[in-house]
Amino acid sequence: MQRVILIYAENELYKIIGDNIKFYRQLYNIGKDKTNRITQEKLAELANISTSLVGNMESEKIDQGISLFTLYKISTILSIPINHFFVPVELKKIEEEIGLFSKKTHSSNR
């Protein structure tokens, strides 16, 4: 299988990372009761960052940068490999439909 290398503009990369933080936070919450869900506030608390930073990252309207260490903490909290935050959510949905990005990938890392 050939590898495709994609280079994104800075604002596009921020959007991809932010979309993925929201995507994986919501995925993490599926099937959990309210006390075990990770809200923006809880994610901020666990990662020792501000709630506004999480909100800005997940926002469609704001290009919010993030340090690699903060992204590492978020990936650890959500039990998702850090490299998954760099793949556009839309691409994941397409790959899942054709079997390249299996649902096992999500559950096997928790």
The model's confidence at residue 97, banded by pLDDT at 50, 70 and 90, is low
Give the residue among 95, 69, 92 at the shortest CA–CA distance from 82. 69
pTM score of the predicted model: 0.77
Q: How many domains does the chain have?
A: 1
pLDDT value for 93: 62
Determine, yes or no, domain membership for 4: no
- 100 occurs within a structural domain: yes
Q: What span, in angstroms and rounded, lies between the C-alpha atoms of 67 and 14?
A: 11
pLDDT digits (tens, 9 = 90+) for 11-68: 999 999 999 999 999 999 999 999 999 999 999 999 999 999 999 999 988 888 899 9
H/E segment holding residue 58: helix 51-58
Within a domain: residue 17? yes
Letter string b/e over residues 29-38, b meaning 16 or more CB atoms within 10 A of that residue's CB: eeeeeeeeeb
> What CATH number did the domain enclosing 61 receive?
1.10.260.40
List pLDDT tens digits, range 76-94: 999 999 999 998 887 666 5
Taking CA atoms, 78 is separated from 3, 20, 37, 87, 97, in Å, by 26, 11, 11, 16, 23
